[in-house]
Structure 1
Amino acid sequence: MIAIYREEIRELLRAKKINEAEDIWLQLLDEDPSDTELFIGLSTEFANKDYAKEASALLAMNIPYLLENGYYDRAINLVKQMAAITPHDKETSARIIECYSLAFKDFPNIQEIISVSRANDITQNLPKSIECIENFISFKEGDFCKHNSWGIGQITSIDFFTKTLTIDFNAKKNHRMDIELGVRALTGIDDQHISALKFKKMPYLKNLAQNDPVELLKITLKSHDNNKATLNEIIDTICGDIIEPDEWKKWWDKTKKLLKSDEYITIPEKKQKYYTLLDQPVSIDEQILSSYFKLSNFREKLAFISAKLKKQSKETYSHSVIDSVAKDLGEMIEINHTIHPALALEAWYTLFSLINDTKQLAQYTSFNSKAIFEHAQNLMETVNTIEKLDF
């Protein structure tokens, strides 16, 4: 339906029927005022036919709705388009000031920034005013940043009139930089990023390494893309300055044991490589069962039980884990006792090693090792094909 309306507007603009084209715009605005991409596209169609002022006025009609409903980013996108098509317009100037004042009402010195941008002066190029505002709101005093050559630094002051930043880098204290250059050369760093903490709170990180290593690992993971990192990335991040290289192995062995009972960090399986920090806690039960049931191959499941589950402290998970795995092993025995007796035997012995009680074992399988052997056509071949798992 939208495509039909857009084509109709194009036809009306080609025919110079601006009033009819505006009526369709207003109809679309009534239907969905939040669809800013549509209206930005329509404004370009209008501007291309020399109706830029009309398009800008129509865009302005949408801004109160967006601001009232907290759609600040969309409102700013509209004023950027208004500035692009009407760069010296009084209404556009007023809307720029209104949008940035509301969207960044809690940003330090926002009114001073808007004043310095000269967004209220329509003799200026309004897209340049927006660029100036955007440059200033990229930084605030106390922010951390990264420079490709000078490393991590902290912004100590911002001069709005000379449009310069003063930054403390480790090797360049009180370094002054033009803010436009700063936008291009600096990358913002969150104050809880491990690089920022190294810059300001190295003793705190070293204390975590000794007394709360899991928390240090959480900070490390949170500082990587998507809250995940490989072991090599973890080593590169914290070994050498927070943890001495000759202490790494001992520290990591201790931390790995603690991770087994943590509900926020997932430990990579054999075919994975990332340690991941979760947004919400996942119980150890859920982590174990999720990893187990993701495996479709019977032998992989048996290997998982041998290598992971039986080495996990039983205090960290509940009986429901054993119950779920035991039921699956019982089904594995049922499926394979005639066609793959060696696999069925492995499953039976694995089940027995988990339950270790004949009466309880009967809840999960009606077979015993003798019954499975009886189904084997070649006894020696069956024995020889049994994998050497930790029964």
Structure 2
Amino acid sequence: MIPSVRIGLFGLLGSGNLGNDGSFEAVLGYLRAEHPDAAISVMCGGPEIVASRHEIETIALNWYQGEYRTASRPWAIATKAMGKLVDIGRTASWVRKQDVVIVPGMGVLESTLPLRPWGFPYSLLLLSASGRLVGTKVALVSVGANVSGHRATRSIIGRAARLASFRSYRDEPSREAMREMGVDVTNDRVYPDLAFALQAPSEPVVPRSVGVGVMAYHGGNDDRARAHEIYESYVDKMTKFVAHLVEDGRPVRLFIGDLADHQVVDEIMKELDSPLISAADTSTLDDVMRAMSTVETVVATRYHNILCALKLAKPTLSVGYARKNEVLMAQLGLGEFCQSARDIDVDGLVGQFTELESRAEELSETLAKRGAEQTRLLERQFSELSATFLPMGVR
């Protein structure tokens, strides 16, 4: 009897980032539909959450449970260092059991937010190196990338990418970034973000309602000294924009893209204390899309909040923190409706929002057409993955 194919999924999943989990759920849905006999295992940051949510075999990404907390005491530093060594064997052992390991989307090759080279980049390098060592194919699928300004981070990310057997990127700038970091991208393809493969729900829309996606934004790697100042400025200006909407009598629904964003939601609601403001109760990207389908227009910061709105063909305004936000908006035909989260012009934001609403019907039609094309392209990529890695069901 031919054994079923063994497929591993790898990443910071179940750790609170709804965008990461949404990309994972898109790939899991494809595998369960097209390869129902596959034995699936997940190495991730939140194994208990992923296991309970999807009834699937999981293993922790790191041996040391405090991996992503800052270690200051000597014993914590020593334990964290020991964990790096232990993870070499743990990762190789898990990878050896798989026929192919898929890294489902996410910004695994980028450093647009604060990132330590010996955190997730190191884990990704262990994955790719283990795959080369034991003969398991590693596929980086629709991932995001940028050129890191930190030498160690850039070196680790570049090496991890080079060792992978398959690479595709969610946009052309990501592909170009890896080329600049010395990766041969000749055979690498560009496909849409995996979340475009999720089903789009349809709920009754509340008239004149606005969805506002917020983020606990502290700047990037080079902004650690000013992180609190950047955060306070962002929250203040987003609060002023929400206040403008409330003064206009509009129902506002606040959205998050990561569990850390709850803090911003709480601050805005406490400051304005209005019955017109509510917070969407979401724990998955599917929850976000379902709640977002009830609003007319969206203003958001996190990449996957914006993606959800575009997927739903909602007129959308991006208050973004990275170039990927602008690229996504341009791809879907809304490139002119962007601002920077670092330096928000509240009056300008109000003006852009007014124009956005005045062109709502036209923009929604454009989004529907371009969104359908994104879904078709992802179906093509899934077919390519099946043909490349899973044609016989065994290695």
TM-score category of the 2 structures, normalised to the smaller one: under 0.3
Larger Rg: 1
Normalized against structure 1, the TM-score is what?
Answer: 0.24
Higher strand share: 2
Normalized against structure 2, the TM-score is what?
Answer: 0.23
Higher helix share: 1
Q: Per chain length, whose mean CA-contact separation is higher, i.e. which structure has more relative contact order (CA < 8 Å, sep 6+)? A: 2
